[in-house]
């Protein structure tokens, strides 16, 4: 049996967890799911649709929001009870963090960002390294495999299963398990209230935008296309845009239908976050920019002229 950590935000499931459930089902038809937090009982229906027969819900009075170390402790307790062959999660920042705590508590290795998994003795994995530019083939020498699934490597596939049976448990937690916790939230929303992970269209800007004011044209285009604004790491490091909009290895990994990259040179960490986009349009004055290697369409020109021209043409086309 494989146990899958299903991540959620106050009862709203992370879509990447559906991909993790699908990946687990391709390895072993017997899968169960676990969620952390009392607001997650409502997820029994959707995890059942993706093949989980049981949903374990870890509840505790002190778990009121995302608490990664407490999650790891709760997972350890459940693993010692169920003795699964593997524990999997989505290869998101939160999925990686929670399973890293689990592995640390169990004193066993963890394999992050796996694209293929074969259970055995030892277990074998293929996993993405260096932002997906290198694929590592590795054996994992542990009775229990703790691993995360690289984002967007598996398409979510429903099996239209019945709602999972809910089994609640209260883990034994220590005060030190809550050293890391959420103190304050912002909306995490971009243009029009659409988050990067949900957006079908993303208009992303880099150093070439020139400054905070330069994002006005990108916002206008994103709104017109019903999409969201993204940015590169240098933009957030400069304080031009919030971290919630950063696309990349240390930001959000996305796979929209359309990704427009304006003034972005294409550092490895940014490419790792957007290369799974279905169609990539690059706007850059440098015909040798690394990001052009990933472009479906390229416009060599000044984004301050190209973006307004695109916006005007789209408005005319919409009538």
Residues 75 and 153 in one domain: yes
**Host domain of residue 297:** 191-318
Q: H or E stretch including 128?
A: strand 123-129
- Which position has the higher pLDDT, 259 or 195? 259
The last residue of a domain, from among 137, 152, 178: 178
The answer to whether residue 184 sits within a structural domain is no
Q: Under 8 Å CB-to-CB from 104, ≥6 apart: which residues?
A: 72
Predicted confidence (pLDDT) per residue in 204-237, tens digit:
999 999 999 999 999 999 999 999 999 999 999 9
Q: Looking at residue 190, what is its pLDDT?
A: 47
Residue matched to tokens 């993405």:
128
Distance of CA 155 to the CA centre of its chain: 13
pTM, full prediction: 0.77
pLDDT value at residue 250: 82
pLDDT value of position 194: 79
Q: Are both 195 and 113 inside the same structural domain?
A: no
Both 236 and 115 in one domain: the answer is no
- pLDDT, tens only, 130-139: 766 788 999 9
Q: For the chain, how many structural domains are there in total?
A: 2
Q: How many CA atoms lie within 13 A of 117 on its CB side?
A: 30
Classify residue 184 as exposed, middle or buried by CB count within 10 Å of its CB (0-12, 13-18, 19+).
exposed
Residue 67 has pLDDT above 70, yes or no: yes
Between 77 and 131, name the one with better pLDDT: 77
**Which of 12, 147, 146 is closest to 66 using CA atoms?**
12
Give residue-wise pLDDT tens across range 154-168.
Answer: 889 999 889 999 999
pLDDT at 187: 57
């Amino acid at each position: 049996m494989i146990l899958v950590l299903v991540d959620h935000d106050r009862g709203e499931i992370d879509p990447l967890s559906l991909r993790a459930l699908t990946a687990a089902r391709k390895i072993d038809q017997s899968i169960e799911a676990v969620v952390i937090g009392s607001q997650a009982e409502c997820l029994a229906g959707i995890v059942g649709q993706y093949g989980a027969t049981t949903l374990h819900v870890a509840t505790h009075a002190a778990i009121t929001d995302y608490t990664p170390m407490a999650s790891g402790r709760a997972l350890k307790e459940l693993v010692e009870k169920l003795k699964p062959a593997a524990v999997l999660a989505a290869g998101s920042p939160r999925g990686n963090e929670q399973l890293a705590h689990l592995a640390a508590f169990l004193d066993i290795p963890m394999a992050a960002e796996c694209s293929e998994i074969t259970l055995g003795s030892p277990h074998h994995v293929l996993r993405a390294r260096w932002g997906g530019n290198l694929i590592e083939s590795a054996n994992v020498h542990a009775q229990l495999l703790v691993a995360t699934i690289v984002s967007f490597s598996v398409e979510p596939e429903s099996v239209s299963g019945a709602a999972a049976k809910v089994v609640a448990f209260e883990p034994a937690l220590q005060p030190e398990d809550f050293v890391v916790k959420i103190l304050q939230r912002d909306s995490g929303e971009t243009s029009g209230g659409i988050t990067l992970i949900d957006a079908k269209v993303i208009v992303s800007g880099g150093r070439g935008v020139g400054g905070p004011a330069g994002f006005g044209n990108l916002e206008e285009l994103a709104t017109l296309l019903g999409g969201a604004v993204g940015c590169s790491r240098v933009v957030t490091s400069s304080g031009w845009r919030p971290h919630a909009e950063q696309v990349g290895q240390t930001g959000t990994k996305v796979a929209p239908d359309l990704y427009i990259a304006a003034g972005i040179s294409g550092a490895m960490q940014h490419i790792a976050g957007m290369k799974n986009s279905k169609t990539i349009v690059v706007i850059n004055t440098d015909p040798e920019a690394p990001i052009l290697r990933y472009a479906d369409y390229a416009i060599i020109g000044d984004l301050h002229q190209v973006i307004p021209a695109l916006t005007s043409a789209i408005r005319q086309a919409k009538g």
